[in-house]
Amino acid sequence: MPELAAELELFSVVLDIGGIPVRLNTGDPVFLRMLQERYEGFLGSSERAEIEFDVDLARGKLADPDADVQVSQTDGRWQLTRGDFHAEWEPLSRRGRIRQSANPYSMDAVLRIVHTLVLARQGGFLVHAASAIRNGRAFLFAGVSGAGKTTISRLAPPHVTLLTDEISYVRKHSNGYTAFGTPFAGELAKVGENVSAEVSALYLLAQGPENLIEPVPAAEATRSLLANILFFAEDDELVRSIFDSAFEFVSRVPVSRLTFVPDSRVWELIG
């Protein structure tokens, strides 16, 4: 029965974002191709994925993707729900299941949430920030929508490697922090490079009449960082981890306010 065998065949893709390979299994080759195109540059070859999801595709569209995200944990199993997807993930077994329609946006959201949960336990985080590598060092540019993340990314000189113009991926290591490229793009609509570098500075973005870098007191820096960290889970322990991570980051990485006019000379101040 070749038809039946074909129906049962599973297609897999490994997405290597932030050095944490996630395998996605789907029975739909068209959806697989969509994922391969969406996450081009972040496709891993690792046979040993750290997390594995089976993806069930719902026919037609699921409900409202603008509905609030709900992320909670019961008996070691995470439940991730938004109008357009429902996912379950058990960290102990490293396996989970995602139900969504065949679109890349729902998958993007699930991946972001899963990575925030993984990073929270490791002292890292996803943060609303552009990031780029210059001369081997990574710089983060944090701010809410409209603060200038896309603008500063667009103004980067050619030798600067853009990691993301929207959501930066930060992992802790023994002596500091590493920023990784992400496929999570903002208005620039361009995925970052899948490379990483030691974080050298965090700039809090503001647009103004001149290019200026000013020091930021630690309390303000921590508050601003916390305001920009992505976190969705209703979980006391992980909230505490994220909270502590922000304090730790500010104690190790210089934080400044970068006020800039939208022209490329601002990059003369960076690095």
130 contributes a contact to another protein by CB under 8 A: no
**One of 54, 235, 256, 271 touching another protein (CB under 8 A):** 235
**One of 56, 64, 234, 263 touching another protein (CB under 8 A):** 234
Spell out the SS3 assignment of the chain: CHHHHHHHCCEEEEEEECCEEEEEEECCHHHHHHHHHHCCCCEECCCCCCEEEEEEECCCCCCCCCCCCEEEEECCEEEEEECCEEEEEECCCCEEEEEECCCHHHHHHHHHHHHHHHHHCCCCEEEEEEEEEECCEEEEEECCCCCCHHHHHHCCCCCCEEEECCEEEEEEECCEEEEECCCCCCCCCCCCCCCEEEEEEEEEEEECCCCEEEECCHHHHHHHHHHHEECCECCHHHHHHHHHHHHHHHHHCCEEEEEECCCHHHHHHCC
231 contributes a contact to another protein by CB under 8 A: yes
**One of 50, 223, 256, 271 touching another protein (CB under 8 A):** 223
**One of 67, 239, 261, 269 touching another protein (CB under 8 A):** 239
| Interface positions, 89-108, toward another protein (CB under 8 A) | none
Nearer to another protein, 169 or 231 (CB): 231
Alpha-carbon distance of 211 to 268, in angstroms, equals 9
CB of 224 to another protein, least distance (A): 10
123 contributes a contact to another protein by CB under 8 A: no
CB of 259 to another protein, least distance (A): 22
Q: What does the radius of gyration of the chain's CA atoms come to, in whole angstroms?
A: 19
Nearer to another protein, 6 or 219 (CB): 219
Q: Which residue in 49, 56, 35 sits closest to 93, CA to CA?
A: 49
CB of 141 to another protein, least distance (A): 21
**One of 226, 253, 255, 270 touching another protein (CB under 8 A):** 226
240 contributes a contact to another protein by CB under 8 A: yes
**One of 176, 217, 254, 262 touching another protein (CB under 8 A):** 217
Structure tokens at 134: 């210059």
**Taking contact as CB under 8 A, which single stretch among the options 6-14, 43-51, 127-135, 242-250 is the one that binds another protein?**
242-250
Nearer to another protein, 97 or 223 (CB): 223
Beta bridge partners of 171: 178
Beta bridge partners of 74: 77
**One of 54, 227, 256, 271 touching another protein (CB under 8 A):** 227
68 contributes a contact to another protein by CB under 8 A: no
214 contributes a contact to another protein by CB under 8 A: no
67 contributes a contact to another protein by CB under 8 A: no
Binding site for another protein (CB under 8 A): 217-219, 222-223, 226-227, 231, 234-236, 239-240, 242-244, 247
